Every structure is written in structure tokens, then in C-alpha cells.
Amino acid sequence: MQSPPTLAAHDPMLKLENQLCFPFYAVSRQLTKTYQPYLQALGLTYPQYLVLLLLWEHEQLTVKELGDRLLLDSGTLTPLLKRMEQRQLLSRRRDPRDERSVVIGLLPTGRALEAQARDIPGQLLAKAGLDLDELAALRTQLTQLLARLT
């Protein structure tokens, strides 16, 4: 009687609203858009911001280490890092002890963005309407799911 307005029987598992992945896909893109105005003020894209988060903490990392932490491969990172190198945010050089590795180092211009980025996380949490407890709980679930998928 109160069936949906479809003409034929339709497998409910194949409805968009019942998909597992779509909410993650949509939330991820919406979150990136939410970051965008803050990052645009720093001239950064979201993946570039992630690279800087790691460099602010570690100062030097190889392309491989960045890829392992961000789950991105060199086909994504190499051109992204070259663009950031052109802006003097970071340096790229071969490791003399292993010429296969490329070491990415934070430059002063990149370090200077750290201060300007300091209040971005807080503003994002406010926009998302999450308090720190909810955030921690959600992050735990997502991290567990991520571990099961990788």
C-alpha cells in the first residue's frame, strides 16, 4: 500500500539511500568544500594541507613516508609536491644514502603557514556542529573501519 513510487520490484539493497559508501563519499567531498574557504586564504588545496600537516610535525619525510601516511601513491604526490616546491613551500632532493628516495623538507615559507592554519581545525569543528567527544567517537569508528579495509 505505502510502497515507493517505482514501477517494478526493485532490490532495496541497490537503492542509493541504502548504500554504505555513498555517505562517506558525500561527506568527504562536503568536508573538503567546508575547508575550502580557509585553505584558499592560504593558497592551499586540501591534499596540500594534509602534506603540510605532516611536515609541520616532522620537518622531513620521504615521498614514500608521505604516501604511507596519507594513503596516496606517487602518481598523486609527485605533481602535487612539485607545485608546492614551485611555491617554495618545501624542497625535493634525493637522499644521498639511497638515491631511490626523494626527501621532502619543509621550507620557511611552508613553516610560516602553520601559524595561519592554527585555528582552522576549531572552526571546522564548529561548522560541523561536533564537540570533541563526538569527534573522538566518530574518529575511532572510522579508524577501525579503515584498518579493516586496508
Q: For the segment 70-99, give every residue that binds a second copy (CB under 8 A).
A: 70-71
- How far is Cα 124 from Cα 32, in angstroms, rounded to an integer? 10
Running DSSP on this structure, what letter comes out for residue 16? G
Q: Does 23 bind a second copy (CB under 8 A)?
A: yes
Instruction: Report the nearest approach of DNA to the CB of residue 118 (Å).
Output: 21
Is 127 a binder of DNA (CB under 7 A)?
A: no
| Per-residue binder mask for a second copy (CB under 8 A), 110-149, x = binder | ----x--xx--xx-xx-xxxx----x--xx-xxx-xx-xx
Rounded Cα–Cα distance for residues 150 and 147 (Å):
5
What is the C-alpha to C-alpha distance for residues 48 and 32, in angstroms, rounded to an integer? 12
Establish if 53 lies at the interface with a second copy (CB under 8 A). yes
Q: Pick what 62 binds: a second copy, DNA, none; C-beta below 5 to 8 Å, kind-dependent.
A: DNA
Q: Report the partner that residue 7 touches, choosing among a second copy, DNA, none (CB closer than 5 to 8 A by kind).
A: a second copy
SS3 content of the chain, % helix, strand, coil (to 5): 65, 10, 20
Could you tell me the CA-to-CA distances from 124 to 35, 38, 51 in Å, in that order? 7, 9, 18
How do 98-106 and 90-95 pair as beta strands? Answer: antiparallel
> According to the binding rule CB under 7 A, does residue 81 interact with DNA?
yes
Residues near DNA, by CB under 7 A: 25, 29, 32-33, 36, 45-48, 62-65, 67, 71-81, 83, 92, 97-102
